[in-house]
Amino acid sequence: MIDHISIRVRDLAQSTAFYESVLSKLGFAKLVEKPGTVGFGKRYPEFWLNHRPEVHGHDGVEGFHVCLRARTTDQVNAFHTVATRLGAESDGDPGLRPEYSNNYYAAFIRDRDGNRIEVLTFVTDKE
């Protein structure tokens, strides 16, 4: 039901490079680049960065949260590894989250602007 999501970032160039690397692990690519905004997606732009230089970054307060779906646990792991290597803060290592369901496998990061990004897959016997 959701068509797209937009998040605010202080440094559009830096955030574009970061998200271009981490979202590629989920099959996303940069599809649109216009002044003040960049859109990523698989077939159409569904994850947007909007330049907002007045954003002051993460202050420890719970803020924006979005969860992106991955196809496999390997994709969840790769997203988290690349994100933390590029300077994101881990907000939950990859792993099962039985408090949500028996097959809920996720990882959480916070980008430099404090946005909390979760990547999730549901583990099956085939994986």
Q: Which CATH architecture has domain 5-55+63-122?
A: Roll (3.10)
Give the ranges where 24-99 is alpha helix by DSSP (H): 73-85
Per domain, the residue ranges of the chain are 5-55+63-122
Query: Beta partners for 51?
Result: 9
What is the value of pTM for the model shown? 0.87
Cβ 107 vs Cβ 118: under 8 Å: yes
The tens digit of pLDDT for each residue in 44-98 reads 999 999 999 886 655 555 558 899 999 999 999 999 999 999 999 999 999 999 9
> What does the longest C-alpha to C-alpha distance in the chain come to?
47
Cβ 5 vs Cβ 64: under 8 Å: no
Instruction: Report which DSSP code applies to 88.
Output: P
